[in-house]
Amino acid sequence: MTLNITAVSKAYVLQVSDRRLTVVQPDDTITIDTDYANKAVVVSCSDALLAITFTGLGRLGTQGIDRWLVDVIEQNGLCELALSAAGEDCVSAQRMMSPESTRSC
Residue by residue, pLDDT tens for the chain (105 residues) are 788 899 989 998 888 888 888 888 999 998 998 898 888 888 877 777 888 888 887 888 888 888 888 888 888 877 765 555 555 555 555 554 444 544 444
For the chain, the domains span 4-104
Look up the pTM and report it: 0.62
What's the CA gap between 27 and 33, in Å, rounded?
Answer: 16
CA distances to 39, 79, 80, 96 from 4, rounded to whole Å, are 9, 24, 26, 26
Please give the pLDDT value at position 99. 46
What's the CA gap between 17 and 4, in Å, rounded?
Answer: 4
